[in-house]
Structure 1
Amino acid sequence: MCESCGCSNIKIDIKGKKKVKLPNGYHVHEDGTMHSHHDGDKHSHHHHNDGHHHSHDHGDDHDHHHHEEKSHRRVIELERKVLEKNDIAAEENRMYFEKHGIVTVNIISSPGSGKTMLLEKTLDRLKGKIQCAVITGDIQTDNDARRLKGRGAKVHQIETGSSCHLNAEQVGRVLHDVIDKKTKILFIENVGNLVCPAAFDLGETFKIALLSVPEGEDKPVKYPVIFSTAKLVIITKTDLMKHLDCDIKKMRKYIREINPGVFIFELSAKTGEGMDAWIDYLTKLTE
C-alpha cells in the first residue's frame, strides 16, 4: 500500500470522481498519515493470574452505526488532506508553467513500457533545437536520471520511497533545479504505475499514456482512468510486433472506446520508426 495516498483504498471512476474507502479501525492524522486501532466489535481478555478467560460484547448495532459515521468522516478527511492538498500544489505549479511559457508533459505507464528510452531518443533529437528539462520519479535509484543526463537537458531524479506516484508538491520543490529561462518543454517521467499517477494532478499541461506492444491489446479497458484522461497515447515497442501475437488495430479500438478523441502515435524508440511524427508534434507545441 502506498503510504502517501492509501492507494489500495482509493477508487477512481472514468469521470475522475475519487471514491475513498478505508478499512474499519483506520483514521487519518493531521499530517495525512493513516493509523489503525483494531478493537473490533468484540474482544477478549485473558487474566494470567487466575486463568480466567472472558469476552465482552460491545453492542453490534451501536458499533455498526458508530463505524458508519466514522467511515464517512474518514472519507472527507482523506480527500481533504491528501487529494485537495495535492490539487492546491498542482495549481501553483500550473501557474508557474503558464507564467514561464513551459509545456509540461506528464508521462505515465506501466513499468518497462519504454518511458526512459523514449525520453533518451526524444532528447537526442531535440538537442540544440528546443530546450528541455526532465523530472523523473522512481521508488528507488537514480538509474533513469543517469541515462538521461548528457543529452542537452537538465535532469532531476525524485526517489519517492514508499510512494507509487509523484505528487505536485514534490515536483514544485525541484522546479528551480531544472528550469531556466530557455526551457520550453518539461517532461515528467512518473513512477511506473497505471493507477495512482493518473489520480494525482502535477500541474502538467497534459498527460501522456504509454502502452507497449507486449502488454496486450486490452490494457486500456483494464486501466481506463489514465487512458480516459490522457491527451495522447503512444503505442511503444512496435518493433516487437513481428515476434508477438498482438493486434494493433484491436489495441487502438480499445483506446478509442475509452477516449474517442485521443491522439495515438505508434513508434519504436529503438529503431526510430514513428519517431518523426512524435518529434514534429512536440515541435509544434512550442511554436
Structure 2
Amino acid sequence: MCATCGCGGETGGLITVPHQHGPGDDHAHDDHAHDDHAHDDHTHHDHGHPRHDHAGHEHGADHVHLPITETVTLEQRVLAKNDRQAQENRAWLAERGILALNMTSSPGAGKTTLLVRTIRELGAGPIAVIEGDQETLLDAERIMATGCRVAQINTGAGCHLDAAMTRRALDMLAPESGSLLFIENVGNLVCPALFDLGERGKVVVISVTEGTDKPLKYPHMFSVATLVLINKIDLLPYVDFDPVRFGELARSVNPGVRILEISASTGAGLGQWYEWLSAQRVPVR
C-alpha cells in the first residue's frame, strides 16, 4: 500500500504494451512488478502490552510515542525514493531527446480525447504514450487506434503513477530518440501532484463543467503545473464557468503558469497547444 496517500496494493501496477498486429501476437505483461515503496520501512505495532522502562516501571502518559512521527518519516522516505527514480528517468529521457509531459486531470476532463486528436493532427516526429488507469485497456485502445505506440499501466486500487512504474513502462515501450511522450496519469487532482515521474512538466487539463474554483480546491496540483488547458470551451454558454476568474485563481497559487483555452471536440484553440508543444522540443544529446 502507498504509505503517502493510502492507495494501492502489492503489485505496483500491471504494465501492458498492446500489439497492433492481430490476435495471434502475445501481450507483454509485467506480472511480477512490485511497488518497492511499500516496503521501505516497518512501523511499530502496539499489541496492547504496557511499556516498561529499565527499572520495570510502566511509562506514564508523558512517555506516549505519537505514531504521526513514524507516518511523516515513512512518507518522506517514500517520496525521496520516488524522487531519486524520477531523476534517473529524467536523465534517461534527456539522453534520448525525449520530451515527456505528465498529463493530469479529474476523471472525464477530456485528456484521452485531447491526446487522440493531438496525435492525429500534430504530425511532428514520433509520439508515444504511457497510459495510466486503475483498470481496463479502453483508453490505451483509443490511443493505439491512431497508430501510436502505447504502454498501459493498470494501478488497481492505486490513484496515481509513480516513477518506478514509469521506468518499467519506458523500458517496455522503448520510445525512439526525439519522441514526444505523453504520460496520461490516473484521473485525480491530488496524489499525481506529489509524485514526480521524471517528466519535463505537468499539464493540467480542466473541463469548464468542473467549476471556476478548482485552483482553490486543489492548490498543490496547480502550483506544480507548467501548463493549464481549459477544455470544452464549446460548452461555456451552457455552464457556470468564468475563464477570467479561473485564471486569477490559478495564478494566485502559481503566478507563472500558462493557461490556454481549448476544445478537444471542436478543435478550437488547439493551434496554440500545438505551438506550445513544438516550443518544448529538445535536441538529442
TM-score normalised by the chain length of structure 2: 0.79
> Residues 41 and 71 from structure 1, CA distance in 2 versus in 1: closer, same or farther, beyond 3 angstroms?
farther
Deviations 1:209-256 (A, max 9, x none): 111100000000110001011110000111111111211111111111
Say yes or no: does 1:72 pair with 2:69: yes
**Structure 1 Cα separation of the partners of residues 273 and 38 of structure 2:** 44
Q: Is the 8 A contact 2:127 2:148 kept in 1?
A: yes
1:95 is aligned to: 91
Counterpart residue type for residue 7 of structure 1: C
Deviations 1:114-144 (A, max 9, x none): 11111011111123x3211100111111111
Say yes or no: does 1:31 pair with 2:39: yes
Matches within 5 A, 1:142-221: 142-221=137-216
Task: State the 1:176 CA deviation.
Answer: 2.8
Q: Is the 8 A contact 1:209 1:233 kept in 2?
A: yes
Deviations 1:50-82 (A, max 9, x none): xxxxxxxx97x73553322x54244223321x1
Deviations 1:180-208 (A, max 9, x none): 33442110000001110000000111111
Q: Tell which structure's C-alpha radius of gyration is larger.
A: 1
Counterpart residue type for residue 160 of structure 2: H
1:136 is aligned to: 131
Aligned Cα RMSD in Å?
2.5
> Residues 37 and 176 from structure 1, CA distance in 2 versus in 1: closer, same or farther, beyond 3 angstroms?
closer
> Residues 113 and 261 from structure 1, CA distance in 2 versus in 1: closer, same or farther, beyond 3 angstroms?
same
1:107 is aligned to: 103
Q: Is the 8 A contact 1:149 1:155 kept in 2?
A: yes
Matches within 5 A, 1:261-272: 261-272=256-267
Identical positions, percent: 43
1:15 is aligned to: none
Aligned residues: 247
> Residues 63 and 141 from structure 1, CA distance in 2 versus in 1: closer, same or farther, beyond 3 angstroms?
farther
Match of 1:272, SS state, is coil
**Structure 1 Cα separation of the partners of residues 255 and 48 of structure 2:** 47
2:2 maps to which of 4, 26, 34:
4
Counterpart residue type for residue 65 of structure 2: H
Q: Is the 8 A contact 1:41 1:63 kept in 2?
A: no
> Residues 225 and 40 from structure 1, CA distance in 2 versus in 1: closer, same or farther, beyond 3 angstroms?
farther
> Residues 67 and 187 from structure 1, CA distance in 2 versus in 1: closer, same or farther, beyond 3 angstroms?
same
2:120 is aligned to: 124
TM-score normalised by the chain length of structure 1: 0.79
Say yes or no: does 1:86 pair with 2:82: yes
**Structure 2 Cα separation of the partners of residues 184 and 168 of structure 1:** 19
Q: Is the 8 A contact 1:32 1:78 kept in 2?
A: no
**Structure 2 Cα separation of the partners of residues 4 and 205 of structure 1:** 24
Counterpart residue type for residue 249 of structure 2: Y
1:17 is aligned to: none
Task: State the 1:153 CA deviation.
Answer: 2.1
Counterpart residue type for residue 214 of structure 1: T
**Structure 2 Cα separation of the partners of residues 168 and 99 of structure 1:** 17
Task: State the 1:179 CA deviation.
Answer: 3.1
**Structure 1 Cα separation of the partners of residues 92 and 122 of structure 2:** 23
**Structure 1 Cα separation of the partners of residues 224 and 94 of structure 2:** 20
Task: State the 1:40 CA deviation.
Answer: 6.4
Match of 1:271, SS state, is coil
Q: Is the 8 A contact 2:104 2:189 kept in 1?
A: yes
Which structure has more relative contact order (CA 8 Å, sep 6+)? It is 2
Counterpart residue type for residue 94 of structure 1: R
Counterpart residue type for residue 62 of structure 1: G
